[in-house]
Amino acid sequence: MELASVLLSPQTIATLAVGLIAGLIRGYTGFGGAIFAIPLLSLIYGPTSAVALVLAAGLVGTAQLMPGALPMATWRQIVPMVLVSLVFTPLGTWVLLTTDPDYVRRGLGLFVLVAAVTMMWGWSWQGPRTPLISGIVGAISGIVTGIGGIGGSVATLYLISSGQPVKVIRANLIIIIGALTIAGFVYLLLAGGILFDDLFKMLIYLPTYMAFIWIGARIFRGTSDALYRQVALWLLAAVGIIVTIW
């Protein structure tokens, strides 16, 4: 009876709903699953547990995608970014664990709103790609990963317009985001930010999220890509506004 009450609790149902929608978004568009989920999960469980869930989901994706990306990556370009990001990720984790959760939640909502608007406009970095700039991007990505588990969006905006073949850009992003995800999860675990209760939440969220990534990639094949991406971005913007002002 107690197990049934837990499984049918508003928190569990809300978590399943977030996993369902985030998975559909990620499965069709290839982006947006984590940044959709993180502000809503932070409303349900608080920012620390939300980050743990998002990073755990990212670990599964990393395990699936990393082996194929390794041979295609331009290591000379991404290694400095990865190394700098690994140095700064613990700073983000420290901010997450020491800052008022309400401030963190609203900050994550604002970040999601800005990210959605930026992607709507189609903006990406058009400036120089010097080691200094790459290092700054790596540092920001690491901090955002530590705070909210979504630092990969920063690296994406930087690398997406690099002029390299799409396969190379994709491989570079998989490795950078994978490194950020692993580092973020490990640092949060070592800092005591992942509790036993979070394991139960992962058992609820991860299967739903992963299943609907698979479903989303198939159900929406007949839908206009441009239309669906716009719907997904407007949905992200709405989530950002709601979580920022709630």
Write the pLDDT tens digit of every residue in 167-208: 888 788 888 988 999 999 999 999 999 998 899 899 999 999
CA–CA separation, 243 vs 246, rounded Å?
5
Q: Taking the CA atoms of the chain, what radius of gyration do you get in angstroms?
A: 17
Domain ranges for the chain: 2-245
Q: Give pLDDT, residue 2.
A: 58
In sign, the C-alpha dihedral spanning 126, 128, 129, 134 is negative
The 10s digit of each residue's pLDDT in 222-236 is: 556 566 667 666 777
The mean of the pLDDT values for the chain is: 84
pLDDT higher than 60, residue 4: no
pLDDT higher than 60, residue 151: yes
The 10s digit of each residue's pLDDT in 50-75 is: 999 999 998 887 887 788 888 988 89
Q: What is the percent of the chain where pLDDT is above 70?
A: 87
Q: Give pLDDT, residue 83.
A: 94
95 CB-near residues (< 8 Å, 6+ apart): 104, 143, 146, 147
What is the model's pTM?
0.85
Q: Can you give the three-state secondary structure of the chain, one letter per residue?
A: CHHHHHHCCHHHHHHHHHHHHHHHHHHHHCCCHHHHHHHHHHHHHCHHHHHHHHHHHHHHHHHHHHHHHHHHCCHHHHHHHHHHHHHHHHHHHHHHHHCCHHHHHHHHHHHHHHHHHHHHHCCCCCCCCCHHHHHHHHHHHHHHHHHHCCCHHHHHHHHCCCCCCHHHHHHHHHHHHHHHHHHHHHHHHHCCCCCHHHHHHHHHHHHHHHHHHHHHHHHHHHCCHHHHHHHHHHHHHHHHHHHHHC
